[in-house]
């Protein structure tokens, strides 16, 4: 059955519909019949997706300007994609987070895994930062924001338009305050016994990376009495958690002076400024310099940006991860711990682990792999979408 109020798009004859029926949420442009009528659909248009035999499969959001030309919104062909539908999806997402966390600091919506394709929402108490990274969400942004306020009660909603995802959708890069007031200062965020300072308007992404929360907690278990090095530290994610866990000292290394300043503010707010230091510079250069200085640490953590953001960048990205491991391993004291992380969805766990282990071996070190971590449960994984399970963290005892 098709609904006359929606346009129709159709799979090519050789494209089998089983993936959509089994829950896969994307349809690529080369899988669709892209005639002039389909190409003329405005980005964000809601349509009915049919198979080649004209059997209706799902309601989808269409963007002819994107490689992902259709995103599944609902397999209920009678669904109305409106404020009520949005509020229902948000309420389901909120119910999960309220069960998981005692304080309102978490990722509220993790895109496809929460049934809102392309939408990321991070909550910071009474403030929410939304990344509408798909054309349909951008088109329905006023309704989405109102539903967000109604469901959560937040008083301020910020739009973050940074990142490559919006560019791939052909969307603008203009961030804005959608509801509430401009934030005058970074917000304090409690997590794992540490306090982080999050710049929600001028920082990276939404201001803080909640995904590493369980890996911060694991690292803190290794920290008692330890001397810690936190490379690619951003606002002190691992180092502040380990100071809260009893580390004697922590050195945070990052290329961003504003991020390191926020890390220092967090340390001061925690009362551990005397045990915390920062070093600005290119991470590879600093790792090499620390080796020349014969520096040694009980725990070394490296949490770089995505070196392999796409399949095309995979081989170069894996070489970069290997290089990080090779440079970091010599800085770990005998019997110490090395944590290596990747947020590259194109590098799966097996390939990432191989690159890291090879780098450790090339450094003349050997060790036990003691823990494999992923993102926290506020970043659920869509079972049919490997990209939603992007984060990997490996902890070795060398």
Residues 69, 16 share a domain? yes
What percentage of the chain has pLDDT greater than the value 70? Answer: 99
Instruction: Please state, rounded to an integer, the average pLDDT across all residues of the chain.
Output: 95
Residues 298, 249 share a domain? yes
Number of C-beta neighbours around residue 26 at 10 A: 21
Residues 334, 388 share a domain? yes
* Assigned domain for 230 exists: yes
> What DSSP character marks residue 15?
S
Residues 69, 93 share a domain? no
Domain boundary residue among 179, 199, 215? 179
Contacts of 150 by beta carbon, 8 Å cutoff, 6+ apart: 87
* Per-residue pLDDT band at 198 (split at 50, 70, 90): very high
* Per-residue pLDDT band at 3 (split at 50, 70, 90): very low
Q: What pLDDT digit, counting tens, does each position of 37-54 carry?
A: 999 999 999 999 999 999
Averaged pLDDT for residues 352-373 = 97
Domain boundary residue among 56, 74, 92? 74
Averaged pLDDT for residues 66-77 = 96
Residue 2 is predicted with a pLDDT of: 45
Residues 382, 243 share a domain? yes
Residue 30's CATH number: 2.30.130.10
* Per-residue pLDDT band at 1 (split at 50, 70, 90): very low
Residue 77 is predicted with a pLDDT of: 94
Domain boundary residue among 54, 74, 94? 74
pLDDT at 141 over 80: yes
pLDDT at 171 over 70: yes
* Assigned domain for 340 exists: yes
Residue 7 is predicted with a pLDDT of: 95
Asked which of 3-7, 54-58, 233-237, 323-327 is least confident by mean pLDDT, the reply is 3-7
Among residues 302, 341, 343, 356, which one is catalytic?
A: 343
Find the domain containing 47 and state its range. 8-74
CA distances from 85 to 25, 88, 135, 195, 278 (A): 18, 5, 17, 36, 47
Residues 220, 362 share a domain? yes
Record the tokens describing residue 206, joined without a space: 């939404």
* Assigned domain for 3 exists: no
* Assigned domain for 2 exists: no
Backbone phi, psi, residue 192, to 5°: 55, 35
Averaged pLDDT for residues 254-258 = 96
Residue 299 is predicted with a pLDDT of: 98
Averaged pLDDT for residues 51-74 = 96
Residues 199, 321 share a domain? yes
* Assigned domain for 385 exists: yes
Q: What pLDDT digit, counting tens, does each position of 280-324 carry?
A: 999 999 999 999 999 999 999 999 999 998 889 999 999 999 999
Record the tokens describing residue 14, joined without a space: 């050789």
Measured CA to CA, the distance from residue 128 to residue 106 in angstroms comes to: 10
Q: What pLDDT digit, counting tens, does each position of 213-248 carry?
A: 999 999 999 999 999 999 999 999 999 999 999 999
Residue 183 is predicted with a pLDDT of: 84
Residue 297's CATH number: 3.40.50.150
Q: Is 356 designated active site?
A: no
Q: Identify any residues that bridge with 176 across adjacent strands, giving them in sequence order.
A: 159
Residues 90, 59 share a domain? no
Residues 214, 162 share a domain? no
* Assigned domain for 94 exists: yes
pLDDT at 356 over 50: yes
Q: How many domains, the chain?
A: 3
Residues 369, 225 share a domain? yes
* Assigned domain for 64 exists: yes
* Assigned domain for 50 exists: yes
Averaged pLDDT for residues 86-102 = 97
Residue 375 is predicted with a pLDDT of: 97
Residues 194, 271 share a domain? yes
Residues 234, 156 share a domain? no
* Per-residue pLDDT band at 338 (split at 50, 70, 90): very high
Place of tokens 């306020």: 149
């Amino acid at each position: 059955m098709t609904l006359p109020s929606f346009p129709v798009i159709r799979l090519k004859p050789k494209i089998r519909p089983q993936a959509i029926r089994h829950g896969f949420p994307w349809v690529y442009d080369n899988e669709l019949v892209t005639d002039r009528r389909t190409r003329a659909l405005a980005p964000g248009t809601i349509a009915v997706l049919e198979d080649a035999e004209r059997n209706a499969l799902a309601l989808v959001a269409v963007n002819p300007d994107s490689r992902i030309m259709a995103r599944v919104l609902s397999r209920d062909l009678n669904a109305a994609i409106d404020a009520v539908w949005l509020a229902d999806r948000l309420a389901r997402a909120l119910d999960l987070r309220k069960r998981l966390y005692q304080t309102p600091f978490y990722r509220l919506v993790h895109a496809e895994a929460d049934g809102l394709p392309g939408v990321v929402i991070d909550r910071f108490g009474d403030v929410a930062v939304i990344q509408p990274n798909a054309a349909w969400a951008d088109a329905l942004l006023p309704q989405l924001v109102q539903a967000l306020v109604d469901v959560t009660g937040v008083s301020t909603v910020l739009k973050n338009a940074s990142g490559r995802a919006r560019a791939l959708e052909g969307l603008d890069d203009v961030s804005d305050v959608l509801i509430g007031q401009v934030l005058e200062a970074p917000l304090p965020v409690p997590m794992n016994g540490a306090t982080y300072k999050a710049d929600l308007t001028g920082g990276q992404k939404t201001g803080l990376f909640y995904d590493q929360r369980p890996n911060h907690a694991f690292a803190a278990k290794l920290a008692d009495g330890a001397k810690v090095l936190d490379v690619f530290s951003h606002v002190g994610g691992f180092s502040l958690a380990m100071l809260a866990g009893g580390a004697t000292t922590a050195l945070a290394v990052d290329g961003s002076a504003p991020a390191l300043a926020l890390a220092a503010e967090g340390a001061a707010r925690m009362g551990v400024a005397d045990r915390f230091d920062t070093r600005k510079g290119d991470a590879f250069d600093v790792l090499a310099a620390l080796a020349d200085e014969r520096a040694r640490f009980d725990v070394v953590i490296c949490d770089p940006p995505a070196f392999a953001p796409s399949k095309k960048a995979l081989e170069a990205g894996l070489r970069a991860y290997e290089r990080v491991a090779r440079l970091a391993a010599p800085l770990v004291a005998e019997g110490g711990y090395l944590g290596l992380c990747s947020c590259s969805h194109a590098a799966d766990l097996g390939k990432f682990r191989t690159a890291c282990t090879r780098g450790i071996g090339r450094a003349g070190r050997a060790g036990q792999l003691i823990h494999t971590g992923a993102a926290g449960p506020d970043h659920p994984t869509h079972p049919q979408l490997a990209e939603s399970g992007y984060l990997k963290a490996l902890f070795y005892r060398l």
